[in-house]
Structure 1
Amino acid sequence: MMMSSPLDLRVRQVWPVEEPPGWRANWIGPSVAEGATNVAFLCRHAFRLGSSRPRRSVLHIGAESSYLLYVNGALAGRGPVRGTAAVTYFDTYDVTELLQDGENWIAIAAHSPNTPTFQASPQAPAVIAQLDDGDDVATDARWQVCLMPGWRPDVEMYTFQIGFTEWQNHADLAPSWSVGGDVAAGWTAAAAVRIDKDLFPRDIPFLTDQRVRPSAVRTVFSVPAEDGQASIAGNLATEPHSNLSLPGVSGLLQEPSRSIELERPPAAGGVGLIIDFGEIVNGAVEIAVTAPRGTVLDLGYDEQLNRNRRLSTAAGDYRFADRHILSGSRQTVTGIFGRRGFRLVELVFRDAAGPVTLHEVRAVQRRFPYVDRAAFSCTDARLNQVWNACVETLKSCATDVFVDCPWRENALWLTDVPVESLSALQAFGDGRLTERCLRLLFSQVRDDGLVPAVAPAGDVPALGDVRPPDWLVLPAANLYVTFILEDFLLYTGSSEFVVGFLPKIDAILDTFRSWVGPDHVILPPDRHWNLIDWSYEFVDRSTHSARKHAALDYMFVLALRSAARLHEQVGDSDRVASLSEEARVRWTQLRAVYWDDARSLFADLPAAGQGTSVDRRSG
């Protein structure tokens, strides 16, 4: 079945790839209208193997931007890791145990937002795949392709950072589509697609899947018939709830889970539950259910109950909800392509023509495979809880990159990497995710040496004439790169990786030098978002509005000192001396600019007496 979530245990994920394939395959995809967004499509290919087939069959697959891989109907993989406008990645699987003598099918369900988000920056809906053995199995015009039956493309954005809401009618998708069935779905020969990106092998291990059972059912309720509101999330947030008693609902919390039956309410409408998993989940929810064909299942997500003991599924422009229309047989409903972050999930079953049997509800944590290397324990139970909470938070924010949060953005921000990287190095002794984040960010490097502070750098609504790639360049964040690399080198000793970044640091520092005016103060271009820290914004002291600011000037001094130490570690004494002297001179110049004798403190702004003092604010 299409929505089955666990990977088949006969598949072996291959990482690292010791020798990249010689690509015979072409990028292929469906023919879509210009400007089409939120495109989901299927492609498949049949081939035959004799009894003398190879002892090992390895399959490589990439997608713009997400894929689910099936081999003879078994779910064999999902991915890839996120890329940017310049790079994309492929995964590798040993599928030997899934192949058979005679006819075999490889099938792919793929999705492209076809618009830049903070998760993906696709050029077109497309996939590429090939088996290592034999010229016959590589994506080309012999493959069949069709738009995914039941997928609704004209939906709301979940968030502009994450992408679109998922709306799928499972009744429209034949269970046998991945093995040659559903011949009436409009299959055509695949079209060749031009993708002008570097295609690299996956550069981190595969993520772990850990299933989490619910810790509580917070509420059970009935809802009236929908009032015609177009927004699924808006409806979930505002529709009336009437409390229900549901015998046996605690069975969902047990291991193994006990099925419960949801009787249809007397009037037209639906039945809902709010499930609490007791921890923040970054991944997906899985719902095993049997319901009449056409039953609607709406899913809402949040991290906490609001003051009305409901989920805030509609907040500003954000719409934290998905919709699934059920097939009529027992099925497992889960997120198809998108990642979801939550602690609580609201399930609302609507328009059921008969009873709904809920067999099991589980969450799936999808995380970087960190191994605990550090521990903390003391006689203060509260401090022990703080340590555990910090480690758990870090794990929840470590997926294929370090992310800012699971729920709203799930995005890689350069501004978050210094803290997340250093914490991961201390807790896990593993620098691989740090390396990947920096590679990904610098795949977007500009001619001036700066990088956008988010990767991939997606569209941002309401910017007017300012281009997102310009606005998303945060000057201060670019200086953080030196601090990240210094921590990385101290913990890992991996000088080779750091040496490769030294010219990039030099380019960043050169750009900052070009911004220094006759008054010795940095003035970054107003097309860049001059955000230094949210603490300034929250007290109405916007560093972007001020433009010139002590925090940015002194951060540049710290970056010069950090760069000097990096050069010292790799034995470049000349650069150590020049950078150290530059930092000393800058410090002296800035003291004359920012020191306020009358108050005996450094001011935030160049004119003495303006703004709140750095010392006072930090206190």
Structure 2
Amino acid sequence: MNKLFGMLLLLCFGLSAMAYDWKGQWISTERSQSQTNEWLAYRKTFTLSDVPAALTARIAADSKYWMWINDSLVVFEGGLKRGPAPGATYFDEVEIAPWLKPGQNTVAVLVWHFGKSGFSHASTGRAGLLFDAQSPAFSLVSDASWRCTLYTAYENTSAPHPNFRLPESNIRFDAQKEIKDWHLSSFKGNLPQALVLARAEAYPFGKLVARPIPLWKDYGLRGYEAIRKSANGDTLFCRLPYNCHVTPYLHVEAEAGKTIGMLTDNYEGGSEKNVRGEYVTRAGEQTYESLGWMNGHEVIYIIPDGVVVKDVKYRETGYNADFAGSFSSDDPFLNELWKRSARTLYVTMRDTYMDCPDRERAQWWGDEVNELGEAFYALDPRGQKLALKGIYELMNWQREDGVIFSPVPSVNWGRELPLQMLASVGYYGFYTQYFYSGDSTFVPVIYDRLHRYLHEVWQPEANGLVTERSGDWNWGDWGEHVDMGVLTNCWYYLALKAELNFAAMLGKEDDVRMLTGMMNSFVSCFNTKYWNGLAYRSPGYKGETDDRAQAMAVVSGLAAADKYPALLQVFKKEYHASPYMEKYVLEALFRMGEADFALSRMKDRYSKMMGYKDYTTLFEGWGIGADGFGGGTINHAWSGGPLTILSQLLCGIEPTSPGFKTFKIAPRMGSVGNASAKVSTHHGLIEVTITRKGKAMTIHAVVPPGTKAEIHFPNGKRFHVTAGSHLLKGLAF
């Protein structure tokens, strides 16, 4: 019965049922009070006569861990922020056989217990480690034979501390309390015996769910691009090549008891305090790396008197996917905008998609919908796994009343933003994830919960549209002149569109009939209620005409082509959308056949942001400070919509069947003369180069093995091609 219950839970988490007989136990030390920002050091020494050909270690921690085997750093920051579902914990799978040897072996693990929840982490309240590696010939599992101690050299800094949204704390390390070489096989000390806390999958750690995304990519220690000193020489400003996740490293000679501060130029990004580090010196020459990642364009070291700096470096880590996609054109502005969009996407990926890597590190789904779309055009297919993880988490945290909310995993937030939730489950969210990846495995797992949200939480009006709901935060976008009535019905229609496709896929014929009927009446009812002859406006809405609302009417398909001329005039006059919703305005213009104006508007809207030459990422608002929105971070990937637009619509690369098994190339070049793009799929790399000379257009397309493409020229001519390299000629208009 217990095994069956476990299998059902695994299915609820969206994972295949896998029977695993856990032998390891959660262990800690009796001195641990599981306080906030507590660090523990674990060791296990054992003897092997023969090294197994393969040995997978399953490792879980509350909250993060670093692992050495026989003096080699095998995992740099393992573990995921906790919460695949309420009461559950992720575990890593690490192949450790390559680091083992005949004779005596040593495994050492450093655990960082956050000790508090945040907008992306649900704490168990207990600091612990679980290690389980089993093979037919040898097993290594965590139990009372391991050694464990509190590592009291890790301390809390004084105030200010990171804001309440972050589960991470500042890290202070006092080298005078260092346990020298504790993680090395040469260590001669003796740590206390470990304390067994609980069996695997017992309270409070809960069900164990395999990590669904790769371990982080470790780029290694590197030197900074440039280093400058403050006028008095007490501060080093160390330039990074771009905005990224880093852990600062230093090599100094010092007197004992000197405190070195470490932070980035993004320390107060988004108007809130983020994370920083401190290092207290021992006497003599020493090195140190502050293990909690921070991000920015510069790392700042504050150096007191009595400290001589011999070297400073940084380690970049990040989501393990490559920038396999690309875009280039004869327009440098567009090239740089695509590049900054891709950098912003990457810096907002880690345990979850984030709104930003500083103020919150939280999985807001309005942001994630834009981000997951960008990932298909910027990254290799490993990047697709992060959105899939987010889908399961979003639906597993559904409230008892049927409401879904974000950010999750979270225990200090549970408020619904209705329009973000409609976006998440709808055509640009869940359906895009399925159609672009070709992976439908999540659909039967989440369908019933999605259906409940759309048809029990949301209620129809008598006229066939949907009743506007305020939820817990009735938010449509930053900025002014937000027409919530039109936006609500557009997002709901797109959610029905996704559900209809899922219902057909699952053979739910009753749902298909019901949804088809709803959507057929929805179109006429929508236009009757909201179209006034010049634009879409809600009855009673008093603000200026909302450009966002017009865009959503177009991209949802609720606005027919006969309305495009009037809508174009609205787009030429109204500029209210934040960068989050501007993506849909630009898409609407391209799909209306207005590529020239779309590019003109894109440049107009992004020119101020792009004018900040020292930044490699895009902002939450159109500017920073007083010109920003919602706190104004400088790294918000919801602003990266142009990345998708330029690859998908300007170069015209879109799937026509799931996973790009078939796709089209239908360029809409506007004022651009030449452009090229690459898109990485599970089948291989799609490559497109488009060249115009006068009325002539040449398209060079590389079609991956096992796929087919349809090439569209602007004059209507089409070619059907199979795998291989193709050079095709037609007319540009």
Give the shorter-chain TM-score range: 0.7 to 0.9
Q: In structure 1, what is the equivalent of residue 420 of structure 2?
A: 477
Q: In structure 2, what is the equivalent of residue 577 of structure 1?
A: 513
2:255 maps to which of 292, 302, 305: 292
Q: In structure 2, what is the equivalent of residue 226 of structure 1?
A: none
Q: Are residues 331 and 414 of structure 1, via their aligned partners in 2, closer, same or farther at CA, if it must alter by over 3 Å?
A: farther
Q: Per-residue displacement from partner, 1:493-546 (whole Å, max 9, x unpaired)?
A: 2233334332232122023334869996635365x22222223xxx3x689xxx
- 1:532 partner amino acid: G
TM-score, with structure 1 as normaliser:
0.75
Q: In structure 1, what is the equivalent of residue 246 of structure 2?
A: 283
Secondary structure in 2 matching 1:350: coil
How far 1:181 moved relative to its partner? 4.7
- 1:144 partner amino acid: R
Secondary structure in 2 matching 1:377: strand
Q: In structure 2, what is the equivalent of residue 233 of structure 1?
A: none
- Tell me, yes or no, if structure 1 residue 556 matches structure 2 residue 556: no
In structure 2, how many angstroms separate the alpha carbons of the residues matched to 1:416 and 1:523?
22
State how 1:525-536 maps to structure 2 within 5 Å: 528-535=472-479
How far 1:129 moved relative to its partner? 0.4
- 2:96 partner amino acid: V
2:322 maps to which of 370, 388, 407: 370
Q: In structure 2, what is the equivalent of residue 348 of structure 1?
A: 302
In structure 1, how many angstroms separate the alpha carbons of the residues matched to 2:236 and 2:17?
48
Q: Are residues 43 and 429 of structure 1, via their aligned partners in 2, closer, same or farther at CA, if it must alter by over 3 Å?
A: closer
- 1:171 partner amino acid: Q
Q: How many residues align?
A: 520
In structure 1, how many angstroms separate the alpha carbons of the residues matched to 2:87 and 2:114?
16
1:202 maps to which of 186, 211, 218: 211
In structure 2, how many angstroms separate the alpha carbons of the residues matched to 1:428 and 1:52?
40
How far 1:138 moved relative to its partner? 1.6
How far 1:422 moved relative to its partner? 1.0
Secondary structure in 2 matching 1:448: coil
Secondary structure in 2 matching 1:40: strand
**Does structure 1 conserve the Cα–Cα contact (< 8 Å) formed by 2:464 and 2:521?**
no
Structure 2 unmatched ranges of 5 or more: 1-14, 548-573, 578-584, 586-733
Q: In structure 1, what is the equivalent of residue 440 of structure 2?
A: 495
**Percent of pairs with identical residues:** 20
How far 1:383 moved relative to its partner? 1.9
Q: Per-residue displacement from partner, 1:285-344 (whole Å, max 9, x unpaired)?
A: 3333343333321012124xxxxxxxx6598551442111134454442232x3211111
Per mean C-alpha deviation after superposition, the further-off stretch among 578-587 and 21-30 is 578-587
Q: In structure 2, what is the equivalent of residue 71 of structure 1?
A: 69
- Tell me, yes or no, if structure 1 residue 416 matches structure 2 residue 425: no
Q: Which has the higher helix share?
A: 2
Per mean C-alpha deviation after superposition, the further-off stretch among 392-401 and 128-137 is 128-137
Secondary structure in 2 matching 1:177: coil
In structure 2, how many angstroms separate the alpha carbons of the residues matched to 1:446 and 1:381?
47
Q: Are residues 529 and 388 of structure 1, via their aligned partners in 2, closer, same or farther at CA, if it must alter by over 3 Å?
A: same
- Tell me, yes or no, if structure 1 residue 160 matches structure 2 residue 164: yes
In structure 2, how many angstroms separate the alpha carbons of the residues matched to 1:565 and 1:409?
34
**Does structure 2 conserve the Cα–Cα contact (< 8 Å) formed by 1:404 and 1:412?**
yes
In structure 2, how many angstroms separate the alpha carbons of the residues matched to 1:55 and 1:26?
25
How far 1:161 moved relative to its partner? 2.9
Q: Are residues 164 and 551 of structure 1, via their aligned partners in 2, closer, same or farther at CA, if it must alter by over 3 Å?
A: same
How far 1:273 moved relative to its partner? 0.8
RMSD: 3.4
Q: In structure 2, what is the equivalent of residue 257 of structure 1?
A: none
Q: In structure 1, what is the equivalent of residue 290 of structure 2?
A: 335
Secondary structure in 1 matching 2:123: coil
Q: In structure 2, what is the equivalent of residue 306 of structure 1?
A: none
Structure 1 unmatched ranges of 5 or more: 1-15, 222-241, 245-270, 304-311, 460-467
- Tell me, yes or no, if structure 1 residue 36 matches structure 2 residue 68: no
In structure 2, how many angstroms separate the alpha carbons of the residues matched to 1:302 and 1:196?
36
**Does structure 2 conserve the Cα–Cα contact (< 8 Å) formed by 1:441 and 1:451?**
yes
State how 1:17-36 maps to structure 2 within 5 Å: 21-31=20-30, 36=35
Q: In structure 1, what is the equivalent of residue 352 of structure 2?
A: 401
In structure 2, how many angstroms separate the alpha carbons of the residues matched to 1:614 and 1:584?
25
**Does structure 2 conserve the Cα–Cα contact (< 8 Å) formed by 1:58 and 1:93?**
yes
Secondary structure in 2 matching 1:47: strand
How far 1:110 moved relative to its partner? 0.8
State how 1:205-284 maps to structure 2 within 5 Å: 205-211=214-220, 213-217=223-227, 219-221=228-230, 242-244=231-233, 271-284=234-247
State how 1:71-90 maps to structure 2 within 5 Å: 71-77=69-75, 78-84=77-83, 85-90=86-91
1:172 maps to which of 172, 177, 183: 177
Q: In structure 2, what is the equivalent of residue 62 of structure 1?
A: 60
Secondary structure in 2 matching 1:576: helix
**Does structure 1 conserve the Cα–Cα contact (< 8 Å) formed by 2:238 and 2:298?**
yes
**Does structure 1 conserve the Cα–Cα contact (< 8 Å) formed by 2:321 and 2:379?**
no
Q: Are residues 382 and 601 of structure 1, via their aligned partners in 2, closer, same or farther at CA, if it must alter by over 3 Å?
A: closer
- 1:159 partner amino acid: N
In structure 1, how many angstroms separate the alpha carbons of the residues matched to 2:180 and 2:20?
32
Q: Are residues 43 and 403 of structure 1, via their aligned partners in 2, closer, same or farther at CA, if it must alter by over 3 Å?
A: same
In structure 1, how many angstroms separate the alpha carbons of the residues matched to 2:173 and 2:24?
30
Secondary structure in 2 matching 1:27: strand
Q: In structure 1, what is the equivalent of residue 706 of structure 2?
A: none
Q: Are residues 315 and 491 of structure 1, via their aligned partners in 2, closer, same or farther at CA, if it must alter by over 3 Å?
A: closer
How far 1:601 moved relative to its partner? 4.2
Q: In structure 1, what is the equivalent of residue 141 of structure 2?
A: 138
How far 1:173 moved relative to its partner? 1.7
Secondary structure in 1 matching 2:366: coil
In structure 1, how many angstroms separate the alpha carbons of the residues matched to 2:458 and 2:373?
28
TM-score, with structure 2 as normaliser:
0.64
